[in-house]
A and B are shown apart, each in its own frame.
Chain A
Amino acid sequence: MSVIVKEVGRALGRADERLPVASGLKKNLRKVFPDHWSFMLGEIALYSFLILLLTGVYLTIFFKPSMTDVVYHGSYQPLVGVPMTEAYSSALGISFDVRGGLLIRQIHHWAALFFMAAMMVHMFRIFFTGAFRKPREFNWIIGGSMILIGLLEGFAGYSLPDDLLSGVGVRIVAGIVESIPIVGTYLLFFIFGGQYPGTDFIPRLYTFHVLLVPGILLASVGLHLVLVFYHKHTQYPGPGRTNENVVGFPLFPVYTAKAGGFFFVVFGVTVLISALVTINPIWAYGPYVPDQVTAGSQPDWYIGFVDGALRAFPSWESQFWGHTWSWNIFLPCVVLPGLMVTALLAYPFIESWVTGDTGEHHLLDRPRNAATRTSLGAMAIAFYGVLVINGANDIIAAAFNLSINQLTWFTRIGIFIIPPLVFLSTHRFCMGLQRRDRELLLHGRESGQILRLPHGEFIEIHTPISDDQKAVILSKRDIAPLAIPAATDQNGVATPGLAGKKIRAKLSGFFFQDNVARPSAAEIEAAHHHAHEVHDHEITELHEAGKQAPSQLTD
């Protein structure tokens, strides 16, 4: 054993004389990572991506990206003798005639759903803790773009097998492309190499799916991780943790062991699900034929919000300049997702402009302490959620005996009402938590022990909170909203850009509205002092006569 260690050490030493391998490694392996379960969400996405790469390579061995017509003669009886494209036939072959093929297909597809869902949950963590703030804005943009690129990649994969469901999906996307004013039709011809559907689409999509997009994703993932490494990981507030230090475990061995173990958990769960639960039963959908369609034609969940917007949007169309302008498709499927993505990517910059906060942040916010940000996030999720649910309106209608038409109206109205309601209730909830934190700091925790005073009144005993908890609560930073600028300065000169500055100050006031200020050290000191004083005072007083117990005690 020790011989091996010595040998390895010597080899590294020799290597180090030529390249700074060992010293570089040693430094980086010692790099400290803070620890929290929510920091593993990104790992789920990373591991799903690796699983996608591995299984995808296996699929490429057997998949034939060709729209040539063939007649199926494989082992799935209900389709024997049916004409179809070679793509669909080979995907059936993978499912029924390739050893382990169906399992690999299902792993590939379940991993795709995991990949997208995990990226989203990971993003929620980043957002609600404010981890996107300076200096990590660029990594936020990379992450957000990866969700968008992953969405396109997933759609491309879903379309490759050329079954009835995916064909309907491609048809809808063709319609979306066509709806783009002026260039739509040209773009469609460009993408499909002529009329829809043509025979070029699957081969093109294949290159896109197995080469171009995975390449872009791989590069983005790499850059994303390098930046995490470079910026160092953020950490939650706690005892001894500041904006200037990083408290955690060394990358090696603790973090690597944990992460490695977690990879196998993610892999295991994905394989287990894929072995037990069907996904995308392409054989049951049949081959794509343009005049066929099945009830419940839906995209994978991550595209559901576009479908939901499309289903809810009123059917506006206009005719002018010799063109049909399909607002009913263009607005919900191009403009709306475009705005949503823009808002997502621009958020860090918008927030720092509104708050005027340009400092670096390595210590995370507790979501309650950034109440408006938290509420905006909850509102955005609600908006997205309403669209996703509407994308499934026919399934919901059938399953719960509801009317599709009523559900559509519910969405059309709900999309304007539900998100603001979610904003308000989240804000109130955060404020409640802020107030409770203040109470905890000033007066301690309600112990649940009730004391009956001699004169008959009941009071609850408050016990001081632990220092750890104090440190967490004290991490709250209160930023003053930007002041509304005066119209003129002392010399009577009009303030330049007054309107813009006023808007910014108003937004800033909105962002920090109702903030419950963190008590100052003096206030805490005074509160403790007061409590003791009152307590002593009270005892003596109570001995004197059955006077009122001081009410400050439970304040």
Chain B
Amino acid sequence: MTSTSVRRHKATGLVVLLAGLVTTGIGYAAVTSTAEASVPQASQGQLDQGHQIFLEGCATCHGLAAQGSSDGPSLIGVGAAAVDFQVSTGRMPLAAPDNQAPQKAVVYTADQISALAAYVASLGPGPSIPSASDVSTTDAELAEGGVLFRTNCAQCHNFAGRGGALSDGKYAPSMMNATPTQMYEAMLTGPQNMPVFNDKTMPPAQKQAIIKYIKNLQQAQAPGGLALGSYGPVTEGVFIWTAGIGALLAAAVWIGAKVR
């Protein structure tokens, strides 16, 4: 493995760590506003606003009546939760077709997102945006969340939620930036290659436990020191072959030169 890849690996780890810390803070702030937006009864004004934004930003791909087109699936019945997840993580509006819609900078304000969500929800019944009490983790069991996480999520998102590769260039992203609402929505709607964990297969209490566990992962305490990105033995191997062996070779050369 080249040393450039190492540096990038390590940098990724750091960035992810920092980003995790920063966004947890922001995430908490965001929870309250998104949760309020899930008030089921939307006003006509909000629906109109949502329709307007939809026509401008989404209809090219999803069709004028959200019925779908060759460039995007039908949104009828996907529910407010799907819209909120896709738009609040910056995945939608999609910039260009790719293996997978990447997270980007969010395009719309919280108000605009709730208007969009309300509009799409009005087209057909679907999961609504989870409320603040839905994503509350005060009663949840951390350790139970860990077990559920390892059973249901770790095979794609890795043991520490740092993400992993799927087939053909698709990937399960890192969860370090996700807000509790987005976590809940992701489980509820199963974006792209992620399975749907509906309330029958995974009751809300279990979702809350998982969210509690992920939040715990996001706090990123590493009792053992630098976590090297929490990617497992690969980064450890890269570390020993660069920094580790590098340091000892330097010492050997130094001692060897001393005696001359």
Contact = CB atoms under 8 A, between A and B. Distances in A.
B169 interface: yes
Contacts of B237: 113, 300-301, 304, 392
Contact of A281 (B155, B165, B224, B234): B224
A172 to B, nearest CB: 13
Contact of A80 (B143, B157, B172, B230): B143
A78 B213 contact: yes
Interface string B231-260: 111111111110111011101110111011
B95 interface: no
Contacts of A281: 222-224, 227, 230
A301 B236 contact: yes
Contact of B259 (A258, A300, A406): A258
Interface stretch (B83-91, B130-138, B144-152, B192-200): B144-152
Interface stretch (A190-198, A260-268, A411-419, A454-462): A260-268
B171 to A, nearest CB: 6
Contacts of B226: 276-278
A297 B41 CA distance: 46
A280 interface: yes
A283 to B, nearest CB: 7
Interface string A398-415: 111111111000000000
Contact of B248 (A95, A266, A275, A278): A266
Interface stretch (A51-59, A175-183, A286-294, A531-539): A286-294
A82 B232 contact: no
A114 B147 CA distance: 33
Contacts of B249: 37, 41, 121
B109 interface: no
Interface stretch (B1-9, B22-30, B120-128): B1-9
A117 interface: yes
Nearest to A401: B169
A118 interface: yes
Contacts of B243: 273
Interface in B1-56: 1, 5, 8-9, 12
Contacts of A44: 248, 252
B80 interface: no
Contacts of A80: 142-143
A318 interface: no
Nearest to B222: A278
A35 B260 CA distance: 9
A79 B155 contact: no
B183 interface: no
B232 A296 contact: yes
B154 A294 contact: yes
Interface residues of A, number: 76
B82 interface: no
A397 B169 contact: yes
Contacts of A113: 236-237, 240, 244
A298 B229 CA distance: 15
Nearest to A293: B155
Given A284-B160, A293-B155, A295-B158, A82 B147 contact: yes
A283 B223 contact: yes
Contacts of A440: none
A392 B1 contact: yes
A295 B154 contact: yes
A310 interface: no
B225 interface: yes
A295 B172 contact: yes
Contacts of A82: 143, 146-147
A18 interface: no
A394 interface: yes
Contacts of A429: none
A280 B233 contact: yes
A292 B151 contact: yes
Interface in A91-115: 95-96, 102, 106, 110, 113-114
Given A77-B142, A279-B236, A293-B154, A398 B163 contact: yes
Contacts of B167: 403-405
Nearest to A408: B167
Contacts of B213: 78
A401 B1 CA distance: 17
A511 interface: no
B147 A406 contact: no
A279 B168 CA distance: 30
Contacts, number: 215
Contact of A269 (B157, B251, B255, B257): B251
A79 B146 contact: yes
B92 interface: no
Contacts of B256: 35-40
Contacts of A65: none
Interface in A59-83: 77-82
B216 interface: yes
Nearest to B238: A301
B241 A301 contact: yes
B100 to A, nearest CB: 10
Given A278-B226, A398-B163, A121 B169 contact: no
B234 A392 contact: yes
Given A36-B256, A40-B255, A394-B164, A117 B244 contact: yes
B186 interface: no
Contacts of A347: none
A269 B172 contact: no
B156 interface: yes
B159 interface: yes
B225 A278 contact: yes
A278 B144 CA distance: 25
Contacts of A36: 256
A80 B171 CA distance: 31
Contacts of B154: 164, 292-295
A118 B157 CA distance: 33
Nearest to A296: B232
A295 B165 contact: yes
A118 to B, nearest CB: 7
B224 A286 contact: no
A276 B227 CA distance: 9
B228 interface: yes
A283 B217 CA distance: 12
A110 B159 contact: no
A404 B232 contact: no
What are the 10 tightest A-B residue pairs by CB atom distance, in nearest-first order? A295-B164, A301-B237, A37-B256, A278-B224, A403-B169, A397-B165, A294-B159, A113-B240, A295-B158, A40-B252
Interface of B: 1, 5, 8-9, 12, 99, 141-144, 146-147, 150-151, 154-160, 163-169, 171-172, 213, 216, 222-228, 230-241, 243-245, 247-249, 251-253, 255-257, 259-260
Given A35-B256, A79-B143, 15 more contacts: A35-B259, A37-B255, A38-B252, A39-B256, A44-B248, A81-B141, A281-B230, A295-B156, A296-B234, A301-B234, A301-B237, A392-B237, A397-B165, A402-B169, A403-B168
29 contacts: A37-B256, A78-B213, A102-B223, A106-B225, A113-B240, A117-B241, A164-B159, A254-B259, A258-B255, A262-B255, A269-B244, A278-B225, A279-B236, A281-B224, A281-B230, A284-B230, A292-B155, A294-B158, A294-B159, A295-B157, A298-B232, A301-B234, A392-B1, A392-B234, A395-B164, A398-B165, A399-B9, A404-B168, A404-B169
